[in-house]
Amino acid sequence: MLCVEELINLDPFQQLSKEQLEWVCDRAQTVELPASEVLAHEGDPGRGLFILVKGKMNLTRRSQGVEIPIGQHEAPSFFGEIPVLTDEPVPVTIRALTDCNLYEIKAEDFRKLLHECRDFERMVFRIMERRMRGLESFIRGREKMAALGTLTAGLAHELNNPASALVRTLGEMPAAILELQRMNLVYGQRNVEEAHTQNWLRVRDQGYDAILNNRLDPVTLSDRETVLLEWLEDYGVKQAWKLAEPLAEGGVEVETLDKMMERWRNDETELREMGLHWLSLSFEVMSMIKHGLRGAERISELVQAMKSYSYLDQGVQQEVNVHQGLEDTLRLFVHKLKCGIQVQRNYDQHLPKILAYGSELNQVWTNLIDNAIDAMDGKGLLEITTHHCDRFAHIDIIDSGSGIPPEIQTRIFEPFFTTKSVGRGSGLGLETVRRIVENRHHGTLSFESQPGRTCFTIRLPSF
């Protein structure tokens, strides 16, 4: 049985009278917990107040599928007040590190004590506030890391394709360039007249222009490739299909090949086909350069978006282009958007810049866009609309998802409130959005939701 001497080791209980302490001891129920046993799982309903008189308890919180230690309780101590007083599920998993002796005070008995003794109530709420701040600080840090991890994973995914293409291109180019040099040397040894050489160079340069400027549509390209393949096979070129595609990309006509190859048809050396191979390989190298450049530009674009998103090398508060921040965020979410979400932009091109904490404002776009993607389950329409009115920049982020149920709409900005499963949602995403918009930027945040359309509206002071 719990005794008064064990209770008064805890500061809040020192505020109770002897009669109240004895009343608590009479109602306390004994709980014995062996090491490694779980007292309460994260997400369980609250039970009551626990008095730990012997042993040590470990507190963990599930994040991204992993149990993260966030603290401990060591005897003598008490815990369990948060779910009782907030009427929310248990925010952490509580597990015995050693064999533990505890006493449980029922929730209604605990609340009765709070009402009867204001000093006891004041101390309990002060301790609870400190614990809530610590838990919130930990979760904010984890949430920022999780958001960074999500963006990093997306960025790595988007960087992989252009980087791989660039590596593949650079790996193939040395052999192609060496072969072109060899062909040039063999051709030069024949002392061919300048006019014929210039004709080859003209065809090559016209092909470069066609490749670099995408002058042929896919249908025309396919038709031309078929015609060229037939010509090459008739000419007797082995593996003609390897030459047909690059020659088609270069816009070469069979009439041109007839004219250029007329003098070489009866040549018994490799020069009989070498002009065709030289032209095809030249176009392949140019295509390699084009695709490699495109990959390098994509990498540069993504790196710039990440740098702009995080506002590296800039002051804490600065003039911010809202559209740029939205676009940077969308670029970093492209791996999620391209699976079935259409993005519709309705930007007011006259929207003025605002004075803001750029990296924090991008957290707002990240949270709202990520929530919208989740709400649409990867398929739907994401609309982003901006306009300027009464010295405020208005930003609407609209999704075509299932909507927010009416019964929870009044609670979505509450700290730790989430509809996501344990370990997936911290309940601080929208609370963070509101804090950044309203407290940091003196703006307003509102929303309207029904099935098929949820709209979050942010109003930020402009100048």
Task: For residue 290, give Cα distances in angstroms to 174, 215, 296, 393, 420.
Answer: 16, 14, 10, 41, 45
The strand pairing partners of 72, in sequence order, are: 58
Task: Report pTM.
Answer: 0.49
Q: Where are the chain's structural domains?
A: 4-116, 155-298, 318-461
Average pLDDT of every residue of the chain: 85
Indicate the pairing of strand 354-356 with strand 380-389: unpaired
Query: Is pLDDT above 60 for 436?
Result: yes
Query: Is pLDDT above 90 for 34?
Result: yes
Task: Assess whether the region 4-116 and the region 318-461 belong to the same CATH fold.
Answer: no
CATH of segment(s) 4-116: 2.60.120.10
pLDDT band at 427 (very low <50, low <70, confident <90, very high): very low
Q: What is the pLDDT of residue 419?
A: 59
CB 39 within 8 A of CB 33: yes
Does residue 9 sit in helix, strand or coil? coil
**Residue 305: half-sphere exposure toward Cβ, Cα within 13 Å:** 22
Least confident of 127-141, 183-197, 277-291: 127-141
The CATH homologous superfamily to which domain 318-461 belongs is: Histidine kinase-like ATPase, C-terminal domain (3.30.565.10)
List, for residues 297-334, the tens digit of each pLDDT value. Answer: 778 777 776 666 655 444 567 888 899 889 888 887 87
Of residues 350 and 143, the one with the higher pLDDT is 350
Closest CA to 238 of 280, 298, 292, 288: 280
CA distance 142 to 63: 8
For the record, the structure tokens of 293 come out as 């450049």
Of residues 6 and 271, the one with the higher pLDDT is 271
What letter represents residue 314's amino acid? Q
Q: What is the pLDDT of residue 422?
A: 42
List, for residues 240-269, the tens digit of each pLDDT value. Answer: 999 999 999 999 999 999 999 998 988 889
Q: What is the pLDDT of residue 340?
A: 85
What average pLDDT score do residues 22-45 get? 89
> In terms of DSSP H, where are the helices of 240-270?
241-249, 254-261
Q: What is the pLDDT of residue 318?
A: 81
Query: Is pLDDT above 80 for 81?
Result: yes
Does residue 269 sit in helix, strand or coil? coil
